[in-house]
């Protein structure tokens, strides 16, 4: 089962985002960034409003990561993405550089900190946390599948006994 995360962050943080996505991939976690087209997107490549594409990406993600650094963030885009994530009831995980100011709209959300001097430790913490969320999702799906199987067998038994 695929566990997908949407990664939101400033274009200035390309290195952090790239290294984080690489780390998540080693844990079997699939990542996408705003506006990135992939095979699961049914929209034509041209003429897709950014907000619609981002909403589709977040809707098809299990979790949304927000990269927040001392250098700032894309306020308008991040607010749009945060609003979409909340409306779709997605798990929100801020990844915050030590010394960065957490925006007011994320103030009550638990976050994972990264140190610019040793960022890989923060990436690993994020990957381990998301790996736990992935396992929880897989367990829920397995239990749900077993319940459906049991109900199906019960129904078949009832049908067979009514003959």
Q: Residue 153 pLDDT > 80, yes or no?
A: no
- What fold, for 3-162? Rossmann fold (3.40.50)
Over residues 72-118, the pLDDT tens digits come to 655 677 778 888 999 999 999 999 989 888 877 788 888 898 998 88
Look over the chain and give the mean of its residue pLDDT values, rounded to a whole number. Answer: 80
Query: Vertex 40, ends 141 and 136: CA angle to 5°?
Result: 20
Residue 43 pLDDT level (bands cut at 50, 70, 90): very low
Determine what percent of the chain falls in helix, strand and coil, rounding each to the nearest 5: 55, 15, 30
- Residues recorded for the chain: 163
The per-residue pLDDT for 72 is 63
Q: At what angle do helices 119-162 and 14-26 cross, to 10 degrees?
A: 40
CA gap 80, 89 in Å, rounded: 14
The per-residue pLDDT for 65 is 92
Domain ranges of the chain: 3-162
Q: Cα torsion for 17, 123, 62, 85, to the nearest 10°?
A: -60
């Amino acid at each position: 089962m695929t566990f997908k995360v949407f990664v939101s962050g400033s274009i200035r943080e390309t290195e952090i985002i790239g290294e984080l996505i690489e780390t998540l991939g080693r844990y079997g976690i699939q990542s996408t960034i705003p506006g990135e087209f992939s095979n699961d997107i049914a929209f034509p490549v041209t003429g897709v409003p950014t907000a619609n594409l981002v909403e589709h990406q977040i809707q098809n993600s299990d979790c949304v990561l927000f990269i927040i650094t001392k250098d700032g963030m894309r306020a308008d885009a991040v607010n749009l993405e945060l609003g979409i994530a909340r409306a779709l009831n997605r798990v929100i995980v801020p990844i915050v550089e030590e010394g960065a100011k957490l925006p007011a709209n994320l103030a009550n959300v638990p976050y994972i900190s990264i140190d610019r001097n040793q960022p890989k430790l923060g990436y690993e913490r994020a990957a381990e946390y998301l790996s736990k969320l992935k396992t929880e999702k897989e367990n829920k799906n397995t239990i749900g599948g077993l319940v459906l199987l049991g109900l199906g067998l019960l129904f078949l038994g009832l049908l067979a006994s009514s003959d």
